[in-house]
Chains A and B, each alone.
Chain A
Amino acid sequence: MPPRLELRNITKSYPGIVANDDISMSIMPGEIHAVLGENGAGKSTLMKIIYGAAQADSGEIYCDGKPIAAHTPATSRALGIEMVYQHFALFESVTVVENIALAVSNTFDLDALARQITELSNRYGMPIDPHRRVHDLSVGERQRVEIVRCLLQAPKLLILDEPTSVLTPQAVVKLFETLRQLASEGCSIVYISHKLDEVQELCDTATVLRNGKVTGTARPKQSTSLELARMMVGAELPEMHVSPSVPSEKPVLEVRGLTAPARDKYGVELKNVSFEVRGGEIVGLAGVSGNGQAELISLLSGERTHGNALSIQIDGRAAAHLNASERRKLGMAFVPEERLGRGAVPPHALWQNAVLTAHRTGLVRNGLVDRKGANSFAAKIIERFKVKANGPQASAQSLSGGNLQKFIVGREIALQPKLFLVAQPTWGVDVGAAAFIRQTLVDLSRSGAAVLVISEELDELFEICDRLLVICQGQVSPPLIRTKTNREEIGLLMTKVDRGNGTNGRGEVAVQD
């Protein structure tokens, strides 16, 4: 039987960089194949070449033994190759079913398609309401839309770029069941991930890339994580040092009885949220996406203000009525979940994006932007956080997701905040850089800053947090001491049944079990 997909000697260069250097691999029907590598190793370029979104300079691609000529995404889809990108390509102002209709069908029988979506999404354990508008969906929910869109095509080869980064442990189990089911039906799967344990659990074979070259192939189920990690980074991984925390006497962030209506009919109402974060400690907020995290973080960051000034206090000062800039003056810094368009301005150069929040560190003089200062500020971040970018002049949108994340985290940490809010700090960031970012967060907190991490990765929260909170349907649990709780307890709190005030009617979407 010919392989479902075979790559022979694929080479692709961009100005100044060889993204893929003589890469060969083959994937059999029904095989789940992992592609491992750090940011900038060339994984995304390779996937784009397979999908036809980019053309290789040299080399051949065979599908079921036949060479693919004149390769475009359209011919890929005709061959049954589907891809779920890491950055979703959804139109935000229209509904789920309309988005999917645009991608998959020639006829616009939306009712029939909506029924199909509901049926398919329920069958694969990722329920989604086809009539919701995409801009109301959390990142996790948007990903379900993308996956369902591909599944509707009954693909022969499915490419998934970092699919589990925003899912709960339970949802990951469900997704893996789905993928295994698909594979047993004969669909081949290319699975890009940084999470070695997932690759070991799911994948039959793995191709490891480093600096655009294949550095090895492995059978993940028979290899140790350490062996795989070494192939990826080419060096020993740094070890985490988490020293015991010494929390400050007074809280730096104090949230008291915060109640806020939903942004819109699909948002989540926050109900009497109270917690505090002290200097010197890291508090984690766990929860399935779409349970009020977006509302809470926008209220904490000042992107949304609140009438009751005392409901949020920063460093003992009423802050709920202040905007983001005024809160930053009190020592707050913030890394949002969305990097492009929120944490950074896509068409602007990195030095301009440095000015976005670092302007108060002396980068503005007499009302004029200090370009030299901003350039060297950006250059320092690029160096310290090993951001793969073409210097401070590179535009934010030219960076891969993980590299832009490193830049934004670096920029915010360089502000030496007293209060650091960070959402999904390591989403899409490779193992080495994720370890570095986590270590930086720990160091920041141990130097006296209060750190609040909002993450859907429980492993990460357990690794670095001192205390854990769980948000579910707009309510925040009492704090749990990290060392005195476990994943099961957190998992239960994440999916608890609504406690008597189930009026919002969105339980089936928010809760997965």
Chain B
Amino acid sequence: MAAPVIATVLTLVVGSLLFATLGYDPLVTLQAFFIAPLNSLNGLSEWLLKASPLILIACGLAVGFRANVWNIGAEGQLIVGAIAACGVGLFYPNPESPILLPLMFLAGACGGMAWAAIPAFLRARMNTNEILVTLMLTYIATLLLSWLVHGPWRDPAGFNYPQTALLSAAAMFEPFDYAYRLNASVFITVVAVFLMWLFTDRSFLGYKMSVSGAAPLAARYAGFRESSAVWIGLLAGGAAAGVAGMAEVAGPLGQLSPQISPGYGFAAIIVAFIGRLNAFGIVLGGLLMSLLFLGGEAVQMNLGLSAALTRIFQGILLFFLLAADFFIFYRLRRIPEHA
């Protein structure tokens, strides 16, 4: 557990130097970055609201990553999940039905899984590279969303803005308090974290996946099918991302627009690795990542730091975290010339 401490100290030192040379008081800046955003109930609500999809998606992705199945396209799966869920929410005949939300949940999960099933099929059958396929499908999903909100699904009463009609109340998660945006969808994440722990740490299926990841020849020796690791790995990530997309649409957004995710699908990859692909670590990683998002916005608004500067600072922290991990497991040595 030394790595996060070392990384935090290094980030604070380097960050302070950076802020000081640019003429900002480091203490004030760091306070505005890390403490001020959490000083209010609203801040806490926003913190959890942003951490929730990150953790949810990272849990799904980590299932695949542990088996060396590299799903880089969670962003696309999130979008397709959101489209499917919103479609159900908009076009279900009875907009007041109590089963509408559960249906949207299923639609979101299925949408994400369907999008992830394409690279899974291609990898299992034709051995294509899932990194490329999942990534490219993300751009297709973005354009599909753009076409829908500019075209067939555009709200007729929306003054030509590229967005769908608002979802009915029955199609949305109710906030805990209408003053804040946090809603019951965080419980989905809590359940997902538990399921992820159960799957990777305790289940036989999760065991088979870890064998596939750590020693593919041993998996073949034991007769574990490689294709099932590919399918499970990709579908888990797809389902988690799709549900996260549904929770965004049925939560803070309430409708589809061309930009529905601030990059949750990509940030979740980092969260998964900060958390070392482990359920508990992912929770911490997601909370940290979410705080970085919030703090970055806060210092831009309150202190007038540039967006680039805040992103540099975020990058420094992540860089030190992953580098500290690396140097704990490996040691640099000089190799003599004559060797």
The chain A residues found within 8 Å of chain B, CB to CB, are 72, 74-75, 77-78, 301-303, 323-328, 334, 336, 338, 341-348, 352, 355-357, 359, 364, 367-369, 371
Is the Cβ of A341 less than 8 Å from the Cβ of B204? no
Asked whether A346 and B214 contact (CB < 8 A) given A303-B220, A323-B225, A368-B202, the answer is yes
Contact with A along B190-201 (1 / 0, CB 8 A): 000000001000
Is the Cβ of B203 less than 8 Å from the Cβ of A367? yes
Asked whether A356 and B222 contact (CB < 8 A) given A341-B217, A345-B215, A346-B215, the answer is yes
Q: CA separation between A344 and B35, bound complex, in Å?
A: 48
B151 to nearest A CB, angstroms? 45
A80 to nearest B CB, angstroms? 12
Query: A352 — nearest CB in chain B belongs to which residue?
Result: B207
Which listed residue (B203, B215, B222) contacts A368, Cβ 8 A?
B203
Asked whether A356 and B203 contact (CB < 8 A) given A74-B339, A302-B223, the answer is no
- Residues of B near A346 (CB, < 8 A) are 214-215
Which listed residue (A326, A345, A348, A364) contacts B204, Cβ 8 A?
A364
Q: Does B170 contact A (CB under 8 A)?
A: no
Is the Cβ of A324 less than 8 Å from the Cβ of B222? yes
Is the Cβ of B224 less than 8 Å from the Cβ of A325? yes
Q: Does B116 contact A (CB under 8 A)?
A: no
Q: CA separation between A357 and B222, bound complex, in Å?
A: 6
Contact with A along B218-235 (1 / 0, CB 8 A): 101111110000000000
Which of B207, B211, B335 has the largest count of A CB atoms less than 10 A from its CB?
Answer: B207
Which of B210, B214, B218 has the largest count of A CB atoms less than 10 A from its CB?
Answer: B218
Query: B205 — nearest CB in chain A belongs to which residue?
Result: A367
Q: Does B338 contact A (CB under 8 A)?
A: yes
6 contacts between A and B (CB under 8 A): A74-B339, A78-B339, A302-B223, A326-B223, A338-B217, A346-B214
Q: Does B93 contact A (CB under 8 A)?
A: no
Known: A78-B336, A341-B217, A344-B215. 19 other contacts (CB 8 A): A77-B339, A78-B338, A302-B223, A303-B220, A324-B220, A326-B223, A342-B215, A342-B218, A345-B211, A345-B214, A346-B214, A348-B210, A356-B218, A356-B221, A367-B204, A367-B205, A368-B203, A368-B204, A369-B203
Q: CA separation between A180 and B218, bound complex, in Å?
A: 40
Q: CA separation between A302 and B221, bound complex, in Å?
A: 8
Q: CA separation between A127 and B211, bound complex, in Å?
A: 37
Is the Cβ of B338 less than 8 Å from the Cβ of A74? yes
A190 to nearest B CB, angstroms? 21
- Residues of B near A74 (CB, < 8 A) are 335-336, 338-339
Asked whether A342 and B217 contact (CB < 8 A) given A356-B211, A367-B203, A367-B204, the answer is yes
Is the Cβ of B338 less than 8 Å from the Cβ of A342? no
Tell me the chain B residues, 215-262 only, with Cβ under 8 Å from chain A: 215, 217-218, 220-225
Q: CA separation between A253 and B338, bound complex, in Å?
A: 56
Which listed residue (A72, A324, A347, A371) contacts B223, Cβ 8 A?
A324
Query: A336 — nearest CB in chain B belongs to which residue?
Result: B221
- Residues of A near B222 (CB, < 8 A) are 324-325, 356-357
Q: CA separation between A357 and B210, bound complex, in Å?
A: 14
Q: CA separation between A215 and B330, bound complex, in Å?
A: 38
Top 9 A-B pairs ranked by shortest CB distance? A325-B223, A324-B223, A74-B339, A364-B204, A345-B215, A342-B217, A323-B223, A341-B215, A303-B220
Asked whether A359 and B336 contact (CB < 8 A) given A303-B220, A341-B215, the answer is no
Contact with A along B155-188 (1 / 0, CB 8 A): 0000000000000000000000000000000000
Query: A329 — nearest CB in chain B belongs to which residue?
Result: B223
Q: CA separation between A369 and B221, bound complex, in Å?
A: 19
B332 to nearest A CB, angstroms? 14
- Residues of B near A303 (CB, < 8 A) are 220-221
Query: A75 — nearest CB in chain B belongs to which residue?
Result: B336
- Residues of A near B215 (CB, < 8 A) are 341-342, 344-346
A361 to nearest B CB, angstroms? 13
Q: CA separation between A348 and B207, bound complex, in Å?
A: 10
Which of B202, B220, B223 has the largest count of A CB atoms less than 10 A from its CB?
Answer: B223
Asked whether A343 and B221 contact (CB < 8 A) given A352-B207, A359-B204, A368-B204, the answer is yes
Query: B336 — nearest CB in chain A belongs to which residue?
Result: A74
Q: CA separation between A371 and B203, bound complex, in Å?
A: 10
- Residues of B near A326 (CB, < 8 A) are 223
- Residues of A near B223 (CB, < 8 A) are 302, 323-328
Q: CA separation between A327 and B221, bound complex, in Å?
A: 11
- Residues of B near A324 (CB, < 8 A) are 220-223
- Residues of A near B214 (CB, < 8 A) are 345-348
A199 to nearest B CB, angstroms? 32
- Residues of B near A371 (CB, < 8 A) are 202
- Residues of B near A328 (CB, < 8 A) are 223
Is the Cβ of A343 less than 8 Å from the Cβ of B218? yes
Q: CA separation between A346 and B218, bound complex, in Å?
A: 10
Query: B339 — nearest CB in chain A belongs to which residue?
Result: A74
- Residues of A near B211 (CB, < 8 A) are 345, 348, 356
- Residues of B near A367 (CB, < 8 A) are 203-205
- Residues of A near B220 (CB, < 8 A) are 303, 324
B236 to nearest A CB, angstroms? 15
Query: A344 — nearest CB in chain B belongs to which residue?
Result: B218
- Residues of B near A345 (CB, < 8 A) are 210-211, 214-215, 218
Query: B198 — nearest CB in chain A belongs to which residue?
Result: A368
Query: A322 — nearest CB in chain B belongs to which residue?
Result: B223
B65 to nearest A CB, angstroms? 15
B248 to nearest A CB, angstroms? 31
Query: B224 — nearest CB in chain A belongs to which residue?
Result: A325
Query: B225 — nearest CB in chain A belongs to which residue?
Result: A323
A74 to nearest B CB, angstroms? 4
Is the Cβ of A369 less than 8 Å from the Cβ of B217? no
Is the Cβ of A369 less than 8 Å from the Cβ of B207? yes
Q: CA separation between A346 and B217, bound complex, in Å?
A: 11
B203 to nearest A CB, angstroms? 5
- Residues of B near A72 (CB, < 8 A) are 336
Q: CA separation between A341 and B218, bound complex, in Å?
A: 6
Query: B217 — nearest CB in chain A belongs to which residue?
Result: A342
Query: A302 — nearest CB in chain B belongs to which residue?
Result: B223
Q: CA separation between A259 and B215, bound complex, in Å?
A: 29
B227 to nearest A CB, angstroms? 11
- Residues of A near B203 (CB, < 8 A) are 367-369
Query: A363 — nearest CB in chain B belongs to which residue?
Result: B204
B207 to nearest A CB, angstroms? 6
Q: CA separation between A326 and B225, bound complex, in Å?
A: 11
- Residues of A near B218 (CB, < 8 A) are 341-345, 356
A362 to nearest B CB, angstroms? 12
Tell me the chain B residues, 306-339 only, with Cβ under 8 Å from chain A: 335-336, 338-339
Asked whether A301 and B221 contact (CB < 8 A) given A342-B215, A367-B204, A369-B204, the answer is yes
Q: CA separation between A77 and B335, bound complex, in Å?
A: 13
- Residues of B near A347 (CB, < 8 A) are 214
Query: B221 — nearest CB in chain A belongs to which residue?
Result: A342
A408 to nearest B CB, angstroms? 10
Q: CA separation between A342 and B217, bound complex, in Å?
A: 5
